[in-house]
Amino acid sequence: MKIISSVEDLRDQLRGQLRTAFVPTMGNLHEGHLSLMRLARRHGDPVVASIFVNRLQFGPNEDFDKYPRTFQADVEKLEKEGVYVLFAPTEKELYPEPQEFRVRPPDDLGNTLEGEFRPGFFGGVTTVVLKLFSCVQPRVAVFGKKDYQQLMIIRNMSRQFALPTEIIAAETYRAHDGLALSSRNSYLSAEERVEAPMLYRILNEVADEVRSGHLDTFELEKKAMAKLAGRGWKPDYVSIRRRSDLMPPCAGDCAHAEPLVVLAAAKLGITRLIDNLEI
């Protein structure tokens, strides 16, 4: 595996490649990330991964400096997966001057759910992803469904900018007890790790209620949040949305089997977990 830190060297290395498959990450890799690499290989060749902790997507109350950096361990994992190039730029390389030009998602998609609780987050994500796409110029790029809203925003950005990059969605990779794999899981205490799968179980309960014909989505959301709170969680939201645009469904949507998704974010101790389930 070639480890490249300069944009110029990356472009030289990939020149003439027409089927590049790309997986952007912030490092601290786990099995969920590695499953994205395997999916990328099925859709293109060579496979390029990136590791870059993007300051632009960290809010004022989120500690950029404390984000776990496990570069050597990440390199070993990517080598075992047969990744061709790891692009690992420094901050100075990717942002050689202040990044004054930014991508701003539309308010109705970027300022709801995660965007409401993490203002500016999606602007930081879309800006760095567009810049990474410019560097790598992939034919396909793989993103996980665990970050459902992020996936939709990036897919819409790619379409509206007519980027020559197809966005591939990867199913959420889960532990045996249903917990979605996340770098944040390492912050959970032993007791919290036992409790953490409850978030996914509650999503399943909500989904079952919707499938059984329960049309009052507000009541279902309120009940789910109360159950989490009763178990010591601090929920930000449990929300049933249309898959097509992440807008709240109307009664007709539920009655006519509009494809839906239920999304949740909640703190367990100091660890904020997110998850979702398509209905």
For residue 113, which of 124, 103, 122, 100 has the smallest C-alpha distance? 122
Residues ≥6 apart with Cβ < 8 Å to 187 = 269, 270, 271
Instruction: Note if 214 is an active site residue.
Output: no
Please state, in angstroms and rounded to a whole number, the distance separating the CA atoms of residues 50 and 190: 31
- Both tokens assigned to 50: 């990136």
Question: Counting beta carbons within 10 angstroms of the beta carbon of residue 52, is it exposed (0 to 12), middle (13 to 18) or buried (19 or more)?
Answer: buried
Q: Are strands 271-278 and 260-268 parallel, antiparallel or unpaired?
A: antiparallel
Please state, in angstroms and rounded to a whole number, the distance separating the CA atoms of residues 85 and 19: 14
Please state, in angstroms and rounded to a whole number, the distance separating the CA atoms of residues 94 and 59: 19
Catalytic position from the list 30, 33, 43, 176: 33
Give the active site residues: 33
